[in-house]
Each structure stands twice: as structure tokens, then as C-alpha cells.
Amino acid sequence: MPTEREKACMACAACCRPTEMLLAPADLARIAARGYDVGDCTVPSRKHPGLREPRSVGNRCYFLEGPGPGGPFWCSLYPDHPAGCKLYPLVYDEATGEAVIDKQYCPHWKAFQDYAADPARRAELLRVLRDELGVI
């Protein structure tokens, strides 16, 4: 049974339309393990040379599905979607060097305040950015 937060995401998908989510090597390996051609469904990052991001198709992430008749959006990679997608709307604040909630782009950020306050989750975002993506 989806949580209220998951229901909000399934009706929203704003962060998947489009996306510039950076993909770590482990993310690319999981995508390939699902049978996708990584060279086709991902593209070089425009902001971070050497990294890749999902291809956008018609202003939507390649992996975004839906909505169906009266139904929600969903990610075709779920539950193996990229680490950054799992952690969003936690994002990195360059000014403070901390993980913060993205109040600018996530329209339902208030529903994520407890989620974003979890120290383990905040530490995980910094670990992914530092150790898997090498961008901080």
C-alpha cells in the first residue's frame, strides 16, 4: 500500500519531467541489468563531464511511464531507480555543504520534511555525491 508521500509522487512526477539526475556507475549497472541499452537510454551530463543522466524524451525522463487512464506516473526502474532519484527531494546545498530539502522544485516538499530531516538519509546523499559521483 503506497504511503501518502508515495501517492503524492505518483500523481506528480515533476522531478522526472524533465530530469538531469546524475547516474552513478552502480545506477548504470542496475539499468543495464534490467536489459536496457545504457548508451541509448542515457546521455552525457551537460553539467558534469564524464557522468551520464537519463535521456529526456519529449521533456520527460526516458524511464518515466504513465499516466494511464486516471492512473499515476511510475518509474520503469522502480525499485532499482537511481540513488539520486530515491533520495530526492533531498539535494546538495553548495552554500552550506549540507543536504537540504528542495523547496524550489518539489511542489510537495512539505510532505517530505520528516523524510528529509533523517540524518542517515542526509549522510547517504553526501556519500553518493562524494564517493559514487565525485561531484563534491
- Does residue 91 contact residue 80 with C-beta atoms inside 8 Å? no
Tell me: does residue 52 bind ligand SF4 (CB under 6 A).
no
Between 14 and 126, CB nearer to ligand SF4 = 14
| Cα 110–Cα 117–Cα 19 angle in degrees, nearest 5 | 60
In terms of Cβ atoms closer than 10 Å to its own Cβ (0-12, 13-18, 19+), residue 128 is: buried
With CB under 6 A, what is the number of residues at the site for ligand SF4? Answer: 22
**Closest CB 43 distance from ligand SF4, rounded Å:** 13
Name the DSSP letter for residue 15. Answer: G
Tell me: does residue 41 bind ligand SF4 (CB under 6 A).
no
Catalog residues that contact ligand SF4 under the rule CB under 6 A: 8-9, 12-16, 19, 21, 54, 61, 63-64, 75, 77, 81-82, 85, 88-89, 106, 108
